[in-house]
Amino acid sequence: MTQPPRPNQGPPSQPPVGSQEPAPNPSISLPPPTLWPPPDATIVANTVSKSFGDLVAVSGVTFAVQPGVTALLGPNGAGKSTMLRMLSGQVKPTGGEIWVAGGNPRTDTDARGRIGLVPQQDGVFEREIALNVVKMAAILSDIEDPEGRARWALDIVEMDPELGRTVGTFSKGMRQRVKIAQALVHDPTVFMMDEPLNGLDPRQRRHMVELFQKLGAMGKTVLISSHVLEEVERFGSHVIVIAKGRLAAQGDFRDIRNLMDNQPLRVRVGATNLRLVGAELLRSGAVVSCTIVDDKTLEVTTNSIIRFRRVVAKICQMSNSRLEEVTPLDDDLESVFRYLTGGGR
């Protein structure tokens, strides 16, 4: 699918906050400055802020999103939902510029029509059946054969269009799938989804992750907010991290995680002969501390998780110990946020 035309004014062209062009120096040859925003960007936020009275929810956030799947990460209360509401045109920023799918979604109806939104709140007609709810979304988007499109969208999210129950009787997971069908029905260019996997069972989660990945592979832009690390790793590698209303990091998730590999990390080790294993781990230098939690569990701290992984199995083998568990205790999203924002562990 071709990307929608950009308006004459184009997206905001200022570089990200804090970036500066280097001063000319005739003695060295510098590569050209990085083009920002990328020419294929479909979402651009430039120094965007949002305040509610004295409360600053988002402060000076700048990023660009290209086609594919991007995860918008942050702990609860970080400003993710506020950011999505501004990007989708529901809320006016206090400051900065937003450009999405060809224009300003707050004022450009064509641009707003290219957005498929899955809000965190339900916001559906509880007294209607699912088919009518999704059909109404198709009618509002001026889709030909709205009922046929509604059936198509419900089928994609694995819901029976003939289900006669009203949406008000649905479970959380069923409501989520109706919202996703509403977002799909007009075949938008850009999808924005706020915690879309909430309430889904494991099989439904797998199906939705596969659906989002397929949309990204088709050239759609899929921006998904989440605070769950497991989900993020399944969506894809590109992430935008927001913490305390500010941009903490943007890029490949694996690169961000790799930044932590040389930082002190806690690991739970389940094994037999715990005292001997702990002593040998300390002697090897692979860990800097070791605590016996119970009869079967050690908690160790290591400055090099890579080195620890290399030696722990060998030490257990030499100690005639059966290794039953190796679980990083800092390998979660909250730890990543604490690291990126300088909050420690």
What residue segments make up the domains of the chain, in order of their start? 43-255, 265-329
For the domain covering 43-255, report its CATH number: 3.40.50.300
**Tens of pLDDT, residues 141-162:** 999 999 999 999 999 999 999 9
Query: What confidence score (pLDDT) does residue 335 get?
Result: 62
CA 39/CA 210 separation, integer angstroms: 27
Crossing angle between the packed helical segments 130-140 and 172-184, to the nearest 10 degrees: 30
Reading the block at residue 333, the tokens are: 């999203």
Three-state DSSP state, 180: helix
Query: Helix, strand, coil: what percent of the chain each, to 5?
Result: 35, 25, 40
Picking from 114, 161, 116, 148, the residue whose alpha carbon sits closest to that of residue 5 is: 114
Three-state DSSP state, 328: strand
Reading the block at residue 29, the tokens are: 């040859």
Partners of 327 in beta bridges:
268
For the domain covering 265-329, report its CATH number: 3.30.70.100
CA 231/CA 249 separation, integer angstroms: 18
End-to-end CA distance of the chain: 45
Local confidence band at 24 (pLDDT 50, 70, 90 cut-offs): very low
CA 296/CA 283 separation, integer angstroms: 20
Order across the sheet with 43-52: list the strands: 55-65, 43-52, 95-100
Reading the block at residue 150, the tokens are: 């509604």
Question: What 8-state DSSP symbol labels residue 141?
Answer: T
| Number of Cβ atoms within 10 Å of the Cβ of 99 | 26
For the entire predicted model, the pTM comes to 0.73
Strands 265-271 and 323-328: antiparallel
SS (H, E, C) 163-221: CCCEHHHCCHHHHHHHHHHHHHCCCCCEEEEECCCCCCCHHHHHHHHHHHHHHHHCCCE
How far are the Cα atoms of 100, 162, 198, 222 from residue 68, in angstroms, in the given order?
15, 33, 21, 6
Query: What confidence score (pLDDT) does residue 243 get?
Result: 84
Residues 6+ apart with CB under 8 A from 60: 17, 47, 48, 49, 95, 96, 246, 247
Query: What confidence score (pLDDT) does residue 26 get?
Result: 37
Whether residue 128 is predicted with pLDDT greater than 60 in this model: the reply is: yes
Reading the block at residue 236, the tokens are: 């894809």
How far are the Cα atoms of 127, 208, 336 from residue 195, in angstroms, in the given order?
24, 12, 19
Three-state DSSP state, 311: helix
Query: What confidence score (pLDDT) does residue 138 get?
Result: 96
Of 190 and 228, more confident: 190
Query: What confidence score (pLDDT) does residue 152 get?
Result: 97
How far are the Cα atoms of 95, 158, 181 from residue 162, in angstroms, in the given order?
46, 12, 15
**Tens of pLDDT, residues 86-117:** 999 999 999 999 999 989 999 999 999 999 99
**Tens of pLDDT, residues 232-266:** 777 777 889 888 899 988 888 767 666 655 567 88
CA 331/CA 333 separation, integer angstroms: 7
Local confidence band at 333 (pLDDT 50, 70, 90 cut-offs): low
- In this structure, the dihedral spanned by the alpha carbons of residues 53, 56, 57 and 58, taken in order and rounded to 10 degrees, is 130
